[in-house]
Structure 1
Amino acid sequence: METVHHELAGEPTFEPMIQIDIEIKAFVSAWKHCDYVSTYMARMISQNRSDSVHHSNLFSSALNELLEVAFRTRHADGELACRVSRHGATDRIELTLPCVPEERQFYEEAVAQVAGIEARERYLNSVSGDLAPSREVVLLELAVDYNATLRIE
């Protein structure tokens, strides 16, 4: 699968490090695939970090959260591409996955909410309840706890 990769004007160039492509049908056949992919990729990209175990653990956790959001896709055909690129100390995760129009709308709205000024307050309110985290809460967690920037292309 050829991944579409766009750099924004004025943005530094991120060099590709690793990419895994998997049929979406195979990926969503077992929840554990999220953990397998995130753990493997985190170990591969963390080798040259000063504290590779710490970096691998944090990166694996963040990537696993993203993969769990992708796992909930309702689209059974196509491929999931997971690519990691690096610029200096910053690692970028790019997920390309098939989704139905309603899912794309969800992602666009969720990313807009995550970028909002009240993201931290919404996140803290959401985790103080007894409900299991929603996909939006997972994205909020990445933005708040990991200082992630999320973007839909």
Structure 2
Amino acid sequence: MHVAEREPEADFEPLLQLEMEMGTFLSDWHHCDQLSTFVARMISLNRTDPVRHSNFFSSALNELLEVLFRGGFPDGQIGCAVYRQGPTERVKLTFPCPPRQRHFLNEAVAKARRGDALARYLDSISTDLAPTRDAVLLDLTINFDALIHLEDSAPSSITLVVDLPLEGIVT
């Protein structure tokens, strides 16, 4: 894992943006897979290996959407925007977030950025029966070399920002 500075938003080219009512999103678990597959196919066409890129991106976005699904609140909207700069895709998920959820996300993102993230991730996957929401963020940091941070949005919303350098992943 490496810790790098985030690139300014102006350096990223917008690729795709969509919005959905949270109640609709939360009404069916399959929305996570459907949205991630659609978005991945749309943005992967001009990559070096479009199928590989689509698979990686879809997996990462699906995990992020499942984090929202497990802790989501039915009021408001979910917004998903994808940007690109060179080998990196930036995903911005904006969603309703009450104070208790905001505290959890701040803690989870902080844990994913700490130096012991690998040890915590390995412990998590060896002891948990199902991945926890913070384990998912650790997974993205470790396995996708993701940089994750939060941005404040409207008073009752938050934006989860994830930079995924997928073109640089060596399999």
Tell me whether the two structures share a fold, i.e. TM-score over 0.5.
Answer: yes
Letter in 2 for 1:125: D
Q: Deviations over 1:51-107 (max 9, x none)?
A: 100000000000000000011234221100011000111100000000111001100
SS state at 1:84 partner: strand
* TM-score normalised by L of structure 1: 0.91
* TM-score normalised by L of structure 2: 0.82
1:137 matched to which residue of 2? 135
How many residues are treated as equivalent by the alignment? 146
Distance change >3 Å, CA 95–CA 9, structure 1 → 2: closer
SS state at 1:75 partner: coil
| Alignment RMSD (CA, Å) | 1.5
Unaligned runs of 5+ in 1: 1-7
- Among the aligned pairs, what percent are the same residue? 51
SS state at 2:11 partner: coil
Query: Is contact 2:26-2:72 (8 Å) kept?
Result: no
Match of 2:88 among 87, 90, 97: 90
Letter in 2 for 1:57: N
- 1: CA distance between counterparts of 2:7 and 2:137? 25
Asked whether 1:64 is paired with 2:35, we answer no
2:15 matched to which residue of 1? 17
Q: Deviations over 1:78-137 (max 9, x none)?
A: 100011000111100000000111001100000000000000000011111252110010
Task: Name segments (4+ residues, structure 1) moved above 4 Å.
Answer: none
2:105 matched to which residue of 1? 107
Unaligned runs of 5+ in 2: 152-171
SS state at 2:18 partner: strand
